[in-house]
Amino acid sequence: MVVEEGFRQAFASGPDLDFLRALVPYVWARWR
């Protein structure tokens, strides 16, 4: 799953908060 890959990459070097802030609304919009 592409989203899981994104999370793995974001957290591999520590939580990337900017990445998460950008990703969450995108995922929310797609999964509703």
pLDDT of residue 13: 64
pLDDT confidence of residue 2? 76
3-state secondary structure of 2: helix
What is the pLDDT, as a whole number, of residue 23?
84
- Alpha carbon 31 to its chain's center: 13
| pLDDT tens-digit map of 1-32 | 677 887 777 666 666 677 778 888 888 898 87
- Model pLDDT, residue 1: 60
Q: What is the pLDDT of residue 25?
A: 86
In order of 24, 29, 30, 31, 32, the CA distances from 14 in angstroms are 17, 25, 25, 25, 28
User: Residues 10, 20: contact at Cβ < 8 Å?
Assistant: yes
